[in-house]
Amino acid sequence: MAASATIHSFPAMPSTLRIGLTLFPNCMPAGLLAFNDLLHAANRRSGAALFETHYVSTQRGTVECAHGLKLSASHCICELTLDAILIPGFWAESVSQAEAAVIANRELVRAIARIGKDCKVWSYCTGVILAAAAGRLAGEEATATWWLADTLLKRYSGTRWQMEKHCIFNERTATASGVNGYLPIAQALLETHVSQTALHDLIRLMVLPRPTQTHDAFQSLSLIEQPGEILRRMHTLVHSLPAEQITVQKLADALRMSQRTLARKVKAETGLATATYVRRIKLSQVGERLVLTSASIQSICEELGFSSDSNLRRMFRGVTGLTPTEYRQRFARF
């Protein structure tokens, strides 16, 4: 598929949808707050109580989220009859940290497992692993943050993982990758219960980013999503160097390792050869500028240090199957 696949299939729901926004220690609350704001604005926009939200946890009271922000859970998850719960991600930079979070939140995992089958379970970013651990994704199609892929495939093989997709919605579940995964979930929900026109109004009027779609080839290439230090350092180097000056030897020297060691580490982390992965990083910069700016191909070529715009076009089409112009038409945000 040329575009990042998103499957929208929200079933019919009650006229007022009761949603639990799940809090747990060290969860990232920004997505929950933004999701809540969007639903509140949708109620105002429609003039009806379409959505009712509650902050829930394993027990009532204050929960210390990431970065020391404290939010109050008004109800225990088991106390309310909910139509859906939303499970946010938590900060983790390695698989071991993610697995440790599952153990630390085993009481929450048990609570999610006990929720009635009529309650939808939506999760995004690293929060997907909590839904999986609770058994709520068994037999379902699901996606997650890419660097958890191997662990999820091994530990939760009963789930039909489709990591190449950004968002997947089923009758009982929704999953999305990335720290902004709450946005496509909110978008699908609002399109179903309000209207696409109302959704566009909300996005335009509120200080919230529009969900950004990118090509499958550039999924998981943002610097912040890299779990390992070597990949983060390599991304920074590739971003800063002109395209025509990048060589595997230069990167290996800068990272103080041999080409063979670098190749082994990149292959283990990404499944790709170093040169292939580096080319994709640089072309993802091209994609970002096509999506976020109106700059000409020639100026993008000069800025990023490609030898010629014809060379850039050839490489870009080789990776995406689209010309830069076609890519901009499909994904541009302006």
DSSP state of 12: P
The answer, yes or no, to whether residue 3 has pLDDT greater than 60, is no
pLDDT of residue 333: 55
Question: pLDDT-derived band of residue 69, with 50, 70 and 90 as boundaries?
Answer: very high
How many Å apart are CA 200 and CA 102, to the nearest integer?
A: 36
Quote the percentage of the chain above a pLDDT of 90: 57
pLDDT digits (tens, 9 = 90+) for 155-206: 999 999 998 788 899 999 999 988 888 988 988 888 788 876 677 677 666 6
pLDDT of residue 292: 72
pLDDT digits (tens, 9 = 90+) for 201-235: 776 666 455 445 566 667 656 544 556 788 888 88
pLDDT of residue 190: 84
Answer whether 49's CB lies under 8 Å from 42's CB: no
pLDDT digits (tens, 9 = 90+) for 113-142: 999 999 999 999 999 999 999 999 999 999
Tokens of 155: 């530990």
DSSP state of 25: T
pLDDT of residue 1: 33
Which of 218, 213, 201, 176 lies closest to 291, judged by CA?
Answer: 213
How many Å apart are CA 144 and CA 150, to the nearest integer?
A: 11
Q: Which domains does the chain have, with CATH numbers?
A: 6-213 (3.40.50.880), 217-331 (1.10.10.60)
pLDDT digits (tens, 9 = 90+) for 78-97: 899 999 999 999 988 788 89
Question: pLDDT-derived band of residue 143, with 50, 70 and 90 as boundaries?
Answer: very high
